[in-house]
């Protein structure tokens, strides 16, 4: 299972989404930040004595974004759960990704300024770079297939107002 951060800067026109370039992918290197949930200790064949916290997914999202990008996130809201049986860029077993709309603590203006000045840098060797990419420019990036589908289809359906003020991306 994975938690995925959808950080959309609506203060710019067209709106921009935070993308990261993953160093370990040859195809579909660009995508949304996030990562997998940590395994809970214990024997998977027997009931656990301690239940998972209610916010286990949100905690995983916060942890992954902090570890990879050095960003704290706020205003977390679940947008979609996506069941992915196979992803060409990361072959393996069935995946379940939870896409959360969130914002960087401090706001997008501060994030834009940090990125422009070079003061904001990724923190993990898994990430080569990060950018706020206008939705109209998504077609210029080698997007991870599951994230491309989410950004180009699901997000347009879930939040059509984001796309009402500019032409559709190619």
Token readout for 137 is 């420019």
CATH class of residue range 2-37+55-142: alpha beta
The per-residue pLDDT for range 38-87, each reduced to its tens digit, is 655 656 566 665 655 557 889 889 999 999 999 999 988 999 998 877 66
- Residue carrying structure tokens 């299972």: 1
Give the whole-angstrom CA distance, residue 160 versus residue 27: 29
Alpha carbon dihedral 41, 45, 49, 51, in 10-degree steps, equals 70
Q: What pLDDT is recorded for position 8?
A: 97
Give the pLDDT score at 44.
Answer: 56
Share of the chain above pLDDT 70, in %: 81
More confident residue, 75 or 121: 75
Cβ 12 vs Cβ 116: under 8 Å: no
Q: 121 vs 13, which has greater pLDDT? A: 13
Structural domain boundaries of the chain?
2-37+55-142
Q: What does the pLDDT look like over 94-104, one tens digit per residue? A: 778 899 999 99
d(CA 29, CA 55): 29
Give the tens place of pLDDT for each residue, 134-153. 999 999 999 988 899 999 99
Is 107's pLDDT higher than 50? yes
């Amino acid at each position: 299972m994975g938690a995925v951060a959808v950080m959309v800067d609506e203060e710019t026109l067209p709106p921009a989404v935070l993308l990261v370039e993953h160093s370990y992918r040859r195809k579909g290197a660009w995508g949304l930040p996030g990562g997998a949930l940590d395994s809970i200790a214990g024997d998977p064949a027997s009931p656990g004595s301690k239940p998972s916290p209610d916010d286990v997914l949100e905690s995983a999202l916060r942890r992954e974004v902090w570890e990879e990008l050095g960003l704290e996130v706020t205003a977390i809201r679940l947008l979609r759960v996506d069941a992915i049986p196979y992803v060409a860029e990361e072959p393996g077993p069935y995946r379940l990704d939870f896409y959360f709309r969130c914002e960087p603590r401090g706001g997008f203006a501060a994030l834009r300024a940090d990125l422009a000045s070079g003061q904001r840098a990724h923190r993990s060797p898994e990430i080569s770079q990060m950018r706020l990419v206008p939705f109209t420019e998504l077609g210029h990036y080698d997007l991870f297939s599951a994230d491309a589908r989410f950004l180009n289809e699901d997000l347009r359906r879930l939040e059509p107002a984001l796309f009402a003020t500019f032409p559709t991306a190619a």
